[in-house]
Structure 1
Amino acid sequence: MHGTNNKLLHKSNIEFTEATVWFEVDLCLINVKQNGDLMNKNDMITKRQDRLKFYAFCGIIAPIFFWFMVIVESLLRPGYSQYYNYVSDLGVGHLAILQNINFFVFGILTIGLAIGLRKGLPSPQGRALKWTIWFVIIFALGVFFAGVFPESFLSANPHNIVSSTAFVAVIAAQLLIWQGLKNKDSTIWGRYRTYSLISGLLSLILVILLKVAILYGIYPGLSQRAFLLVSWIWIGVTGLKLYIISQNQRPIMN
C-alpha cells in the first residue's frame, strides 16, 4: 500500500514537472512573439520616421536652394534689377536654363513636402487639411510649369496663368491648414497654426500690393520678391515642422 502511494506520488510529481515545463515553454513562446511584434512595430515606426524626415528635408531644402539660385543667377545678369525685374525674367535669355531648372527642382521638392504633409498631419484629416495638401501640390505644379512655359513662350500667357495659379494655391494652403488644425493638439500645432494664419494673411496682402505695383510700375520686382519670400519661408517652416514631428516619434518599449 505504501509502495503504491509512492508510485502515485512520483507519477504526480512527473506530471506536475511536465506541466510546469510546458507552461514555461508557452511563456517563452508568448514573450518571443510579443518581442517580435514590438520589433516589427518599432521597425515600422523607424521606417515611417525616415520617410517623414526625407519629405521634411524636401520642404526645408526647396526654398533655400531656390533663393540661392536666384541670387547667383541675378549676379550673372548684367543690368538685372532686383527692384524692377521679376524672378521669372531670369528664365529668359542668357543662362535661362538655370532658372527654368530651378523652377523644376522647387516644384518636385515641394511635391515631396505635400506627401510629407499627408503622412505627418494629425488624423483624422478633415476636408480643410485634405485640401491643404492638394493646394500645396497645385502650387508645386504651378511653379514647375513656370519653368516649362517661360515668359518668352506665347507672349508669356501660359507662364502668367501657371504663376497666378501657384500664388493663389499657396495662399489658400496657408489659410486652410490654419483652419484644419483648429481642433488638433495645441501643444504640438498651436504655434505653427498661428504662424500659418499670419503668413497666409501677409501673403494675401502682399499679392494685392504686387498687383498694384505692377499696375503703376512701382518696384514690381521688389514687390514680387516680398510676396515670394513670405510664401517660400512658409514652405521651409512647414518642412521643419514635419522634421520635428518625425523626431518626436518614439519606439515602443518592452
Structure 2
Amino acid sequence: MDRWLLRLGIAAPVLYFGAVIVGSLFYPGYSHVTQYASELGSASAARPEIFNYGIISAGVCAVLAGLGFALVLRALSKGWIFSSLAGLSISLWGVSMIMGGMFPMPDERHGGFGLGMAIQVAPLLVFLALTGRAQMTGLKTFLLLVLIASGALFAIMMGVGGLVHRADVGLWQRAYALSSIPWIAVAALCLDQAMGRRRAASA
C-alpha cells in the first residue's frame, strides 16, 4: 500500500501540467508568457473546469502521495521525524491545489492560505530523511539542486531583483513551477525503486 500511495506522486505533476496545457488550448488568446496559470480556472476562461478539476485531481494525488512518502522514507531511513515532515509538506501542497481548484481566483481562498509554500522545504526534508543512505547519493544531489533552483526562483517571484513584470510574469511562474513540482515525480520513482530493491533483498 505504501508504494502505491507513493506512486501517486508521479501522477500529481503530470495532472498539474496537463491541466495547464489542456486548459490553455480552450482559452482563446491565452498567453503563457503574460498570464498566471490560475487565470485558466477563472471566470474569464471559456472552460475553467478543465484547469480547476485538473489541479484538484493533482492535489488529491499529492495528499495521498505525501502519506506514501512518509511511510517509504521511514522504512528506508528508520527515522520518523524528517520522514513525516517531508510527507506532510507534500500533502499540504496538495491541499493548496485542491483549494485552488475549488475556489477559483479571485476568491481569497484560491491561494490555500499559503499552505502550498510547504513545497519549498519538501526537497530539503526528503534529503534529511535520506541522510546516511549512501546508495541514494544521486537522488540527494538532485534534491539539493532542486532546493537551490526553486528557492532562487521563488525569491524572484516574490520581487527580489525586480525581474518580474506583467509582460513576463507567466514565464517566470512557469519556470518556478518547473523547478518546484516535477521533482516530486522523480523522487517518488527513485524511492519506489529503492523500496522495491530493499524488499527483494529481504525476501
Q: Same fold (TM over 0.5)?
A: yes
Q: Is the 8 A contact 2:18 2:54 kept in 1?
A: no
Point out the structure with the larger helix share: 1
Question: Which residue of the partner structure matches residue 49 of structure 2?
Answer: 97
Question: Which residue of the partner structure matches residue 15 of structure 1?
Answer: none
Structure 2 CA distance, aligned partners of 1:77 and 1:193?
39
Structure 1 CA distance, aligned partners of 2:190 and 2:113?
26
Post-superposition CA distance 1:204-253 (Å, at most 9, x none): 11111122368632511111111111211111112211321243121756
Question: Which residue of the partner structure matches residue 177 of structure 1?
Answer: 126
Structure 2 counterparts to residues 76-87 of structure 1, below 5 A: 76-87=26-37
Structure 2 counterparts to residues 194-209 of structure 1, below 5 A: 194-209=141-156
Partner of 1:79, secondary structure, is coil
Match of 1:190, as an amino acid?
Answer: T
Deviates more, 1:205-214 or 1:78-87: 205-214
Question: Which residue of the partner structure matches residue 184 of structure 2?
Answer: 235
Question: Which residue of the partner structure matches residue 7 of structure 2?
Answer: 57
Structure 2 CA distance, aligned partners of 1:66 and 1:138?
15
Q: Is the 8 A contact 2:156 2:164 kept in 1?
A: no
Question: Which residue of the partner structure matches residue 68 of structure 1?
Answer: 18
Structure 2 CA distance, aligned partners of 1:197 and 1:246?
21
Structure 1 CA distance, aligned partners of 2:3 and 2:91?
19
Question: Which residue of the partner structure matches residue 106 of structure 1?
Answer: 58
**What is the aligned-residue RMSD (CA, Å)?**
2.0
* Greater Rg over alpha carbons, structure: 1
Q: 1:236 to 1:252 in 2, by over 3 A?
A: closer
Q: 1:102 to 1:141 in 2, by over 3 A?
A: same
Question: Which residue of the partner structure matches residue 186 of structure 1?
Answer: 134
Does residue 105 of structure 2 align to residue 151 of structure 1?
Answer: yes
Same amino acid, percent of matched pairs: 24
Residue 53 of structure 1 and its aligned partner are, at CA, apart by 3.5
Partner of 1:250, secondary structure, is helix
Structure 1 CA distance, aligned partners of 2:106 and 2:141?
40
Question: Which residue of the partner structure matches residue 120 of structure 1?
Answer: 72
Match of 1:148, as an amino acid?
Answer: M
Partner of 2:200, secondary structure, is coil
TM-score by length of 2: 0.87
Q: Is the 8 A contact 1:171 1:200 kept in 2?
A: yes
Structure 1 CA distance, aligned partners of 2:139 and 2:12?
19
Q: Is the 8 A contact 2:77 2:130 kept in 1?
A: no
Deviates more, 1:125-134 or 1:112-121: 125-134
Structure 2 CA distance, aligned partners of 1:163 and 1:118?
23
Structure 1 CA distance, aligned partners of 2:195 and 2:17?
26
Does residue 84 of structure 2 align to residue 130 of structure 1?
Answer: yes
Residue 90 of structure 1 and its aligned partner are, at CA, apart by 0.6
Mark the runs of 5 or more structure 1 residues left unpaired by the alignment: 1-50
Structure 1 CA distance, aligned partners of 2:104 and 2:173?
17
Mark the runs of 5 or more structure 2 residues left unpaired by the alignment: none
Q: Is the 8 A contact 2:65 2:87 kept in 1?
A: no
Match of 1:236, as an amino acid?
Answer: A
Q: Is the 8 A contact 1:128 1:176 kept in 2?
A: yes
